[in-house]
Structure formats: structure tokens, C-alpha cells
Structure 1
Amino acid sequence: MCSLTAVTTVLSEEMRENISLMRKENEDLQRRTEELIREKEGLNWTIGVILEYDSFPVHIHCPNTVCRPCMDGWIQFQSKCYLFCKSPFSSKWRTWQGSRDFCRQKQAELVVIESPEEQEFISNHTEYYYDEYHGFWIGLSNKNQMNTWMWVDGSHVTLSYWTADRGYRTSCVLSIPKADPLANWKKVSCSMVNLFICETTALIKPD
């Protein structure tokens, strides 16, 4: 009877150890599966970004065969990369359309602001220059046939951070440095020359 009890005890202990080992292996397998899913999502993201280019500049995005989320001089915020075109020389300033053309040459666009967090990020990275009337072009205007405020991606304005100025009838929009971050969009003539902000999708999906 004692021998049977001892055998039963040993078997029970072995079963507990096996169950514990199987649980750990299952947890490790689930963890690895989740990692592979994230890696797959990241690769699909990167492939999608690459396919947006007519000719993907590998040497710029992946120097020394190591790919980076953003190109040199660009700043990443969430899933986007931003280029704040800053220069004290007025010869580098551009009209709204000239700024947009510059961004497009970089496979980017004038920035489209889609959240309060992005608005705050933009405001924190612009600096005062020349005078209080100058700022940074963003991708918002009412130059379309319907004379309505639209972003360069064709979407309508859902958030707005206007200054008190009424602005021009046909206008493009500046983000004014050092103004209230929740009220720094200024309507001005699209032919005015200013600095500007380009935006593109980050090559590598953020965690």
C-alpha cells in the first residue's frame, strides 16, 4: 500500500511538472506568434510605403543597408515623418504652391493635421522668424472650385485652430509660431512667401 502511494505521489509530481512545462512552452509559442504577426504587419507597412514611390530611393532611406523610419533631416511623430523647412534667407521661402511642389519632389506633401496631438507637435517644432505675419505653410486652402476649406489629400476640415483674423477670400493657411497652439492657423494670400512643413509616411511602422 505504501509503495502504491509513493508511486502515485511521484506520478502526480511528474504530471504537475509536465503541465507547468507545457504551459510555459505554450506561453512562449504565443509570444513568438505575436512577434511574428507584428513583424509581418511591419513588413506589409513598409512594402505599402515603398509601392507609393515611382522609384524608391534606397540609398536615402536605407544607407549601409539599414532602413530608417525617416530620411536625414526629417522628424518622426507617430506614423509620419516631417520636414520643417527653415531658413533665414528669404530666397528659400516659397508661395503655398511652390512649397507644395517642393514637398512633392521629396515624395511628400504639405502637412495635413489630423489630431490635436499632431497640431501640438507641429506648434512645438516651428520657430518665429522675420515678423509675426510670417509662418509655416500647411496643406490647407480654399483654392478649390467649391471655395471650401480642404486639405491637399482631398479631405475636409474636421479640426480647426484659427486665429481671430478673417483673412483673404481665396486663402491658404499658415501655422504661426509662438501663437496659441490651439489658435495659430492664419488665412493669408497664397502668393505670400513663407517657410513650410512637408509630411510623408514613415517607412517603418511605429510600435
Structure 2
Amino acid sequence: MEEELTYANVTFKTIGVFAHIDSEKFSPKEIIYDEVKTQDSHPIITENEKRSQFHPLLFLGMICFILLLTIIILSVYFTYEQRRQSGVLTKQNLKLEAMNAALRRRTAELHRERNRLNWTLDVILEYDNFPAAERCPQKQCKPCPNGWAMFQSNCYLFTEDEYSYKWKTWQQSQEFCEKEKNAKLAVIDSQEEQEFINNKTKKYNDNNHGYWIGLKKDTEDMWTWADGRNLSVTFWSTQEAGNRLFCGLINPNLNNSSNWAKSSCSMKNRWICETRVLIRPD
């Protein structure tokens, strides 16, 4: 609060020795001090002034609080929404992956089915007159005809005639396989196939008899398969053969790992026919 010191109408009059001086020349002088004020270096702030200064600060604080609260709420909302969307996307991705896997499996199945059908069609077209009654009895097609043994994608017929009059020469055996069974004398391309055939053959008559396979010496004195292919593997016995032995057979009397024997093509033996399966295995 400001202090006010007011000096008003203060008049000093000359008296005494100066009284006889002409009043016209020397009139009394008046020195007036009016509204003389002093200001306190430490002003006192009123309650109203304090309130007027507090209101803007309060308003600003409320705005800051509201903004902070809004930011927190939006952060929580967007975090929740992001997690929710992430969960939805994860579920959709899993669903799409499952559908994709199912589609790949189905596509693979269709490819296998197409390959099987193409294989079957090729086998049927090898026949001039497809023996449906033999290959598909009661309209149910089977990979191999009755009495044939299946190995991988081939069927094998092992003749088991006990009487020698039913045995055949190499050429007769080849013709029987081709004309009667639409097949060929067996061709061996692997160790596994060799072992399979060994397990199906058995000794008979004497140590020289065996089962004709598609081995024959060509005009250039080279051993080849009857279909013209070269030998990829061989299982010849160590026995020395004569110069006139131009046909090959499997002799069960020899070591299983090396039981191919060279024989005269006119010798009569049992034989092994081979043909492709009608229905290709997976």
C-alpha cells in the first residue's frame, strides 16, 4: 500500500526586523508542497491481485493436464489397436498358410494322379489288344496280373514248370514273353533288382540249369540286353565260358552276388518275363 504525505497550504511569513520593509516590494512568499509522495521499495500485493495472477497459471496447468491425459489415452488406444490388428493378421496368416499347405498337397496329389494315369495309358497302348479280363478282373485293375510278382514299377513272371518238355530255349522264351504276355525277358538294372530276382529263383534239375534273362551277345561280340540297351551293372560268375555261349541266364546254384552265367542259346531252361506295372506306385 502506498503511503501518501501531503503538505498543503504551508505559508511562512516574515516577521520581526523585516516588518517595516515595503510590502509592495517584498510580498510574502508562499511555498506550497502539494501531493508529495513516496513509494515503498517492497510493495504489498493485495489478495485480489494474487488471485488475478493465479488464474492464468491454473488455466495453463489444466490445459497441460488435459493434453497429457489425451496423449496417454491415445497411446493406450493405439497400442491396443496395434496389438489387436497384429493378432488378427497373425490368425489370417496362419489360416492362409494352412490353406496354402493344403493347396500344395492337393496339387501334388493331382500331379501324382496325372502321372499314374499317363503311365497306365502308356502301358495300355503297348498292347495291340489290351487283355482287360487279365489285367482288370471284375473291372478292378491291379498293378500286376495274377501269378506275377511286383518289384518297384515292374512285374515279373517266374516260370516254375517241373517237366523239361515245357522248358524253352532263349529265343522261345523271348517269344513267349512278347507274344503271350506282352512282356520281355527280364532286364536287371540294379543291385536291388538282382537281389529281388535271386530271392524268387530256386535250384532245379542240375547245376547248369537256370532262368533265362534278356542277356545276349550281339553281332559285335558285345553283351547287351535284348532291347538293345547296354549293361549298366553286371553280376557275372567267375566261371569261364566257351566261345559258343551267346545267351545269359541266372543260375541259382551259383553265388547270389555273381550268378549270371553264359550258356548255349539252344539249351532249354525256365525263364523270367518282365513288364511294367499297370498302375504306377507312388
Scaled by the length of structure 2, the TM-score of the pair is: 0.69
Single out whichever of 153-162 and 7-16 deviates more from structure 2. Answer: 7-16
Question: In structure 2, what is the Cα distance between the partners aligned to 1:69 and 1:115?
Answer: 21
Aligned to 2:149: 75
Q: 1:28 to 1:158 in 2, by over 3 A?
A: closer
Aligned to 2:120: 46
Aligned to 2:224: 150
For the residue of structure 1 that corresponds to 2:249, the secondary structure is strand
For structure 2, the 5+ residue unaligned runs are 1-72
Question: In structure 2, what is the Cα distance between the partners aligned to 1:174 and 1:5?
Answer: 81
Query: Does 1:84 find its partner at 2:158?
Result: yes
Question: In structure 2, what is the Cα distance between the partners aligned to 1:141 and 1:20?
Answer: 61
For structure 1, the 5+ residue unaligned runs are none
Query: Does 1:138 find its partner at 2:138?
Result: no
For the residue of structure 2 that corresponds to 1:182, the secondary structure is helix
Aligned to 1:58: 132
Question: In structure 2, what is the Cα distance between the partners aligned to 1:101 and 1:168?
Answer: 25
Aligned to 1:112: 187
Question: In structure 2, what is the Cα distance between the partners aligned to 1:116 and 1:6?
Answer: 65
Offset from partner CA, 1:108-127 (integer Å, 9 cap, x none): 00111111111111111100
Q: 1:173 aligns with which of 222, 236, 248?
A: 248
Question: Which is bigger in relative contact order (C-alpha 8 A, separation at least 6)?
Answer: 1
Question: In structure 2, what is the Cα distance between the partners aligned to 1:126 and 1:23?
Answer: 52
Offset from partner CA, 1:72-118 (integer Å, 9 cap, x none): 11111111110001121112111111111111121000111111111
Aligned to 1:127: 202
Partner AA of 1:21 in structure 2: K
Partner AA of 1:177 in structure 2: P
Partner AA of 1:41 in structure 2: N
Q: RMSD in angstroms over aligned alpha carbons?
A: 1.5
Question: In structure 2, what is the Cα distance between the partners aligned to 1:117 and 1:12?
Answer: 54
Offset from partner CA, 1:5-60 (integer Å, 9 cap, x none): 44443333222111111111111111111111111111111111111111111111
Question: In structure 2, what is the Cα distance between the partners aligned to 1:160 and 1:17?
Answer: 58
Partner AA of 2:163 in structure 1: F
Aligned to 2:87: 13
Scaled by the length of structure 1, the TM-score of the pair is: 0.93
Single out whichever of 88-97 and 9-18 deviates more from structure 2. Answer: 9-18
Question: In structure 1, what is the Cα distance between the partners aligned to 2:238 and 2:97?
Answer: 63
Aligned to 1:190: 265
Partner AA of 1:69 in structure 2: P
Question: In structure 2, what is the Cα distance between the partners aligned to 1:130 and 1:44?
Answer: 43
Question: In structure 2, what is the Cα distance between the partners aligned to 1:52 and 1:24?
Answer: 42
Question: In structure 1, what is the Cα distance between the partners aligned to 2:109 and 2:156?
Answer: 28
Single out whichever of 160-169 and 114-123 deviates more from structure 2. Answer: 160-169
For the residue of structure 1 that corresponds to 2:204, the secondary structure is coil
Aligned to 2:177: 103
Offset from partner CA, 1:125-159 (integer Å, 9 cap, x none): 100111111100111111x3223212110112232
Number of equivalent positions: 206
Question: In structure 2, what is the Cα distance between the partners aligned to 1:177 and 1:100?
Answer: 20
Aligned to 1:201: 276
Partner AA of 1:63 in structure 2: P
